[in-house]
Amino acid sequence: MKLAILIARAIFPDVIERLSVYFDVEANQQDIVFSQQELAEKLQGKSGVLCTSSARFDATLLTRLPMLKAVANMAVGYDNVDLAACTAQGILVSNTPDVLNETTADFGWTLLMATARRVTESEHWLRAGHWDKWRYDYFLGADIHGSTLGIIGMGRIGQAIARRSMGFDMQVLYHNRTSLTPEQEVRANNARYVSKEALLSEADHVMLVLPYSATTHHTIDKAELALMKPTATLVNLARGGIVNDLALIDALRSKAIAAAGLDVFENEPKFHPDFLTLNNVVLTPHIASASESTRFAMANRAADNLIAALQNQRPPNLLNPEVVA
């Protein structure tokens, strides 16, 4: 008899077919975002779940799921999962790193370029029918080439972003929990480790690529924004909550910084409506990894992890190896 699993959000049919070889699959192809109560009900009798960051696995929910053995999170970040509570209950937790590094780094540059060169603002102006002549001072933005890029969070994605800066003859500053090796710094366009305060005050463009946790909550707040140059841009493609959105809205409105590019928000998808009143912000709906090949690879990596976990094998991307020990 096959073990039962839940696929908590809509996913590629090929991945459902693949998992169906191993498991009795209940798939949520209607893409309903389950409440905690609905998630608890759907997971009754299930041994595993393939989920996204919209599903929150906290200690309260886990106490209602005695049969659950594996949570395969289709994301790099796993702030939606109480890892300690899962470990205490013997639940294997996994994520999907590496397969999205380059695509996410590409999108970081997409946001940076659009923000610095005022692409969204100028397109809206054009679509509204305001363009009737050329002017020397229309939509003057900030140069990328020859500028200083500051990266907060220098993991795999941060390093991939830094490598791309070589073509723009940029200086790269970074801040991280730990510094890179000298060899890694060279590969990352000779990136230089500095304090967060120095990075914010010196960088022309600041990119956030750090994981969300209680310790990184509001890494960028009013005080940090005040350190930035009034000509600087801020790009967040990491997680909502790393930036205090209200403080950022105030900084953008007062022109304390020039512009921001945001792929993630606090309380998404219900982001703060005041962002829509600002011209100097580029907004995208959490799509940094959204190329077809990358999302397919993420789904299959999550499937790999789930298959291994429920076949008494070590998942390739296990986050709590102490459960296996």
Which residue, 214, 202, 138, 150, is CA-closest to 176?
150
User: Do residues 264 and 305 both lie within one domain?
Assistant: no
- Give the number of other CB atoms < 10 A from CB of residue 278: 15
| 316 lies in some domain | no
User: Do residues 87 and 162 both lie within one domain?
Assistant: no
pLDDT of residue 264: 97
Query: Cα–Cα distance between 124 and 126 in angstroms, integer?
Result: 5
Residues 113-140 have pLDDT tens digits of: 999 999 999 999 999 999 999 999 999 9
Query: How much is the mean pLDDT over the chain?
Result: 97
pTM: 0.93
User: Do residues 149 and 262 both lie within one domain?
Assistant: yes
Q: Is 68 exposed, middle or buried, given 0-12, 13-18 or 19+ CB atoms closer than 10 A?
A: buried
* Average pLDDT over every residue of 179-189: 97
Share of the chain above pLDDT 90, in %: 99
Residues 274-324 have pLDDT tens digits of: 999 999 999 999 999 999 999 999 999 999 999 999 999 999 999 999 998
Helix or strand run (H / E) with residue 78:
none
User: Do residues 249 and 119 both lie within one domain?
Assistant: yes
List the CATH number of the domain containing 304.
3.40.50.720
Tell me the CA end-to-end span of the chain in Å, nearest whole number: 27
**Which pair of structure tokens corresponds to residue 203?**
């960088």
User: Do residues 40 and 55 both lie within one domain?
Assistant: yes
User: Do residues 161 and 229 both lie within one domain?
Assistant: yes
Query: Cα–Cα distance between 188 and 41 in angstroms, integer?
Result: 47
User: Do residues 65 and 137 both lie within one domain?
Assistant: no
pLDDT of residue 230: 98
Domain that holds residue 275: 101-283
Residue 287, amino acid: I
Residue 71 is given by DSSP the state E
Which residue, 285, 316, 297, 319, is CA-closest to 102?
297
pLDDT of residue 1: 87
* Beta strand pairing call for 70-73 and 92-94: parallel
Query: Cα–Cα distance between 315 and 200 in angstroms, integer?
Result: 39
| 318 lies in some domain | no
Query: Cα–Cα distance between 113 and 153 in angstroms, integer?
Result: 20
User: Do residues 48 and 108 both lie within one domain?
Assistant: no
Residues 34-45 have pLDDT tens digits of: 999 999 999 999
> Does 325 have pLDDT greater than 90?
no
DSSP H stretches of helix in the chain: 13-20, 36-42, 59-62, 83-88, 101-116, 119-127, 156-164, 182-187, 196-202, 222-227, 245-253, 292-309
Question: Any idea which residues carry the catalytic annotation?
Answer: 239, 268, 286
Which residue, 148, 8, 140, 165, is CA-closest to 81?
8
Query: Cα–Cα distance between 50 and 109 in angstroms, integer?
Result: 30
Residue 220 is given by DSSP the state B
User: Do residues 298 and 279 both lie within one domain?
Assistant: no
